[in-house]
Amino acid sequence: MTASRDSAGLPGALDGYEEIPPLGMPPAEGVIRVRPEDFVVRERLGMAPEGGGEHLWLRIQKRALTTEEVARLLARHAGVAYRDVGYAGLKDRHAVTEQWFSIHKSSATDEDWSSALPPALQVLERSRHRRKIKKGALRGNAFEITVRKVRGDPGQVQAVCERLRDTGFPNYFGEQRFGRQRGNVARARAMLGGQKAVRDRFSRGLYLSAARAEIFNRVLAVRVRAGSWDTALVGDALVLDGSRSYFVEEQITGEIAARVKRGDLHPSGPLWGAGGPPTRAGVLALENEVAAGQPELKVGLSGYGMQHARRPLRVIPKDLEARWLDAETLQLRFSLPAGSYATALLREIVRYESGCG
């Protein structure tokens, strides 16, 4: 495809998600998720339980189950409504993951949870707190990913990891956000266009999130192609590292450029909603052009009461380490802030296939 360019010199909207580019050709290829233990995720909450209160908190290790499935199992066992179970974020099904759940239940904590729950769940820790765990109350996640049947140059793999540690990678939403064969985006189009009524609150949330992610990924892909995904442009909304706060910059000074280079600030992209982007100049033109190419999503999100928000275009991993377990098995360890996808980092290192289908 030949991309159009706007007056700011930025290429125009892409035609498809499949064209979303990595930074360069990954130096290796392999298979992930051959078994659940190959994809380990440990949640890092933004708070700790106080030890007392009406909400029972459980740190649970789950295997081959979704977060929603676990929440429903806990609600059923505790004899409470699903809405009385809290968690900070969704975790992968095809993985071994650790995360906190809260249950609004005033009874004692000495119940035999382990015997009542299926073998795929293990209670690692329990405590109490006066509040429910709310979605988004998350600092980040630590990952341990094993890639099997690897073919590639270990030296080049190490070089890419060193570059990612220094400069970060494009903060794409991963394929998990879009569902099998990107079905969540198609369902979002139908829901927002009025062709399909969705009564289940959880499903509505998934489809709305997929719609916002679709527009964001397309904007980010354009800026990756232009080489500006990690560079401040006139009119950018710059996000403070580790924060949701941002400010719009209409003059890129040397100080601003230096802060972006060292990771204090990040250019951001749109999480579409009412009011439209706060950006200016060519950046605003680009974001509006990309969104205009998705009319059902743009109009539907604005009319659904979703408020416009921003997401960093770049994320810099913490403690990224590559270790070879044998000649064909690579293990990657790293931590990411809340909302960033391990697969977005992985795709910069390995052209992967998933063993779970």
Residues annotated catalytic, as ranges: 92
Residue with tokens 């030890």: 51
**Nearest CA among 297, 287, 291 for reference residue 6:** 287
The whole-angstrom separation of Cα 155 and Cα 56 is: 48
> Strand 28-32 vs strand 85-87: parallel, antiparallel, or unpaired?
unpaired
Q: Decide: 347 and 160 in contact? Cβ < 8 Å.
A: no
Q: CB neighbours of 161 closer than 8 A, spacing ≥ 6?
A: 320, 321, 322, 332, 349
Integer Cα distance of 211 and 189 in angstroms: 8
Going by the DSSP 8-state scheme, the letter that residue 139 receives in this structure is E
Q: CB of 160 within 8 A of CB of 91? A: no
DSSP string, 326-338: ETTEEEEEEEEET
Q: Which residues in 300-313 are b (16+ Cβ under 10 Å) and which e?
A: bbbeeebebebbbb
* CA atoms of 241 and 337, how far apart (whole Å): 10
Task: Considering only CA atoms, give the Rg of the chain.
Answer: 21
- The residue among 26, 21, 27 whose CA lies nearest residue 226 is 21
CA distance 195 to 188: 10
How many Cβ atoms sit within 10 Å of the Cβ of residue 127?
18
SS3 27: coil
Grouping H, G, I as helix, E, B as strand and the rest as coil, residue 101 is strand
Bridge partners, 100 (sequence order): 59
Considering only CA atoms, which of 144, 109, 145, 141 is closest in space to residue 127? 109
